Homo-oligomer: A and B are copies of this chain.
Amino acid sequence: MTRKIGVIGMGHVGSTVAHYIVAEGFADDLVLIDPNEKKVTADATDFEDAMANLPVHTNITVNDYSALKDADVVISAVGNILLQKDNKEHDRFIELPFTKNAVKDVSAKLKASGFNGILVDITNPCDVITTMYQKFTGLPKNHVMGTGTLLDSSRMRRAVSSELGIDPRSVAGYNLGEHGNSQFTAWSTVRVLGRPITEIAKERNIDLAKLDEVARAGGYTVFHGKHYTNYGIASAAVRLANIIISDARTEIPVSNWHEEYNTYLSYPAIVGRDGIIEQDHLELTDDENEKLKASANYIRTRFEDTIAGMEKEAAAK
């Protein structure tokens, strides 16, 4: 019945997500939504100006929530890049005062549209916002997920691959926890050349802590070099959308609900048309388990504080 994807928020990330979808023909119908009507209309027209030179066709709808009723996937790329301007530390919580309200508003409109597909959140702080989306839309927990550390894992894989002179696709493993400063590389899960990286690192005298630095430094290079990041995250989000739509049941680290921690956090899971199909049960080291727990606590606390604050604000009105 044709593929329909919605993208909410047409800043750097949302418009790159939309471009990637249009250029490859991943969707038949694409719904673009942004409060800045001039910007979203500009992008839509720009895509339509591209159409005659593209081999695939996409039908584009602008700022119509009702068109999301039968969307397969909605991607939230809501953000406020201006808030990032003086963000020396690249702390993703700097956007929360803006995004928490934006997401509440989007959720209400999504709910009103009758949307009952899979919601993929990019909006930061990713895990807190993903939790909010689930709460505000009332969608099943397994139908809401965040891109989370899919991007951090890709950065780790880029750093490892660059050190070893191999393809990042040939580096397996995950960054876990918050898509933020409490996340960590679970080195016990990383494998290259058919073996655990811990062994390879010993043999070749590779400092894994330094590789973590390289991965993180890459993120800073991107963020401080252009004041936003878009290509890495767009590829992650669109890959996730394709996995969902084609029901590929692929193992991938995304922010998904973890009952034992009572929060969303990034951890590998099998993803398909029914959202989160199954969660991995990794054999982490004690240290990694501690870090994961700490990251989970951090996300849950920030989420609870935010909701409490929003309720207080609402009550005060």
Contact = CB atoms under 8 A, between A and B. Distances in A.
Interface stretch (A79-87, A128-136, A165-173, A286-294): A165-173
User: Looking at chain A, what size class is its interface with the partner chain?
Assistant: 35 or more
A53 interface: yes
A52 B251 contact: no
A20 B16 CA distance: 10
Interface stretch (A42-50, A103-111, A255-263, A305-313): A42-50
Contact of A22 (B47, B56, B58, B231): B231
Given A2-B72, A50-B231, A57 B246 contact: yes
B195 A225 contact: no
A72 to B, nearest CB: 6
Given A51-B154, A282-B195, A23 B246 contact: no
Contacts of A242: 56
Given A19-B16, A249-B167, A251-B166, A53 B235 contact: yes
Nearest to A173: B194
A29 B41 CA distance: 33
Interface stretch (A93-101, A137-145, A216-224, A296-304): A216-224
Q: How many copies does the complex hold?
A: 4
B169 A51 contact: yes
A139 B171 CA distance: 30
Contacts of A155: 49
Residue of A59, A72, A168, A280 with most chain B CB atoms under a 10 A cut-off: A168
Contacts of A245: 2, 28
Contacts of A218: 45, 48-49
Given A24-B23, A53-B150, A154-B49, A41 B171 contact: no
A226 interface: yes
A317 interface: no
A193 interface: yes
Given A16-B19, A231-B46, A167 B38 contact: no
Interface of A: 1-4, 16, 19-20, 22-25, 28, 38-39, 41-43, 45-59, 70, 72, 150-151, 153-155, 157-158, 161-162, 165-172, 174, 189, 191-195, 218-219, 221-226, 229-232, 234-236, 239, 242-243, 245-251, 268, 270, 273, 277-278, 280-283
Given A54-B235, A194-B268, 4 more contacts: A43-B222, A57-B247, A170-B249, A194-B283
